[in-house]
Amino acid sequence: MERTVAVLVGSLRKDSFNRKTALALTRLAPANLKLGIVEIRGLTLYDQDHDAGPPVCWVEFRDAIRPADAVLFVTPEYNRSVPGVLKNAIDVGSRPYGHSVWAGKPAAIVSVSPGAMGGFGANHHLRQSLTFLDMPVLQQPEAYIGNAAALFDDKGEIANEGTRAFMTKFMAAFAAWIEKIRG
Ligand code: FNR
């Protein structure tokens, strides 16, 4: 069955390793998964005073997430946690209270870093938020992608066969997880 997956990238950087990874995962995913990046760059900072009259950027973002069958987070680690831009997007989607766009959607997390630890801290801080948001998160395989500066060829493809095989396996596991939750 065809499933739509909203992809959130936790970096705004033009040459972001995380964005490149998200695009590579899109190409390696099983054919029934339709992945599309939902941009978070234009979101203003969440402010509870605007719950009753939200800015257009919040409304459009929530409308883009709501129909998705699942959500894939691809994120760097900033100071051992989730970058503020991604946390802001999560907060925007979670409100007004009782109208979260996240609840019940199966999710998966891929953290990507040029460092050796593959964004472990961000990955697990994000899991904490997603647990509260009632998003069942894929447990295995975990995806901590380290040494990202050496990961891509000049076309943006994953240069390393082992990593490509792992990402293919990861996306197959996510597809199975989506069916299990949505089934
Ligand atoms: C970083 N970086 C970083 N890396 C890491 O592995 N653990 C960390 O805690 C941090 N902290 C951190 C804070 C801030 C403010 C910045 C700007 C960067 C480095 C980070 O992994 C690197 O810049 C990546 O390239 C960011 O991901 P993108 O933009 O390539 O997707």
**Cα-to-chain-centroid distance, residue 144:** 13
Could you confirm whether domain 3-182 is CATH 3.40.50.360?
yes
State in Å: Cα 119 to ligand 1 middle. 8
Among 113, 124, 144, which is best to mutate for testing ligand 1, by the most ligand atoms less than 8 A from CB? 113
Among 13, 78, 124, which is best to mutate for testing ligand 1, by the most ligand atoms less than 8 A from CB? 78
State in Å: Cα 96 to ligand 1 middle. 31
Distance CA 10, CA 6 (A): 13
Burial class (CB in 10 A: 0-12, 13-18, 19+), 147: middle
Three-class SS of residue 111? strand
Cα–Cα separations (whole angstroms), residue 116 to 67, 90, 143, 165: 36, 26, 13, 19
Q: Taking CB atoms and a 6 Å cutoff, what residues make up the pocket around ligand 1? A: 11, 13, 16-18, 76-80, 113-115, 119
- Position 67, amino acid: P
DSSP string for residues in 6-33? EEEES---TT-HHHHHHHHHHHHS-TTE
Burial class (CB in 10 A: 0-12, 13-18, 19+), 153: exposed
Which atom of ligand 1 is nearest the CA belonging to 117? 6
Domain ranges of the chain: 3-182
State in Å: Cα 97 to ligand 1 middle. 31
Are 144 and 123 spatial neighbours (Cβ–Cβ below 8 Å)? yes
State in Å: Cα 56 to ligand 1 middle. 30
* Backbone CA torsion sign across 95, 101, 107, 112: negative
Q: Give the dihedral of Cα atoms 98, 109, 168, 172; nearest 10 deg.
A: -40
- Give me the pLDDT at residue 183, please: 87
- Give me the pLDDT at residue 163, please: 96
- Give me the pLDDT at residue 44, please: 98
Binned at pLDDT 50, 70 and 90, residue 180 comes out as: very high
pTM (two decimals): 0.98
* Average pLDDT value for residue range 134-153: 97
Binned at pLDDT 50, 70 and 90, residue 122 comes out as: very high
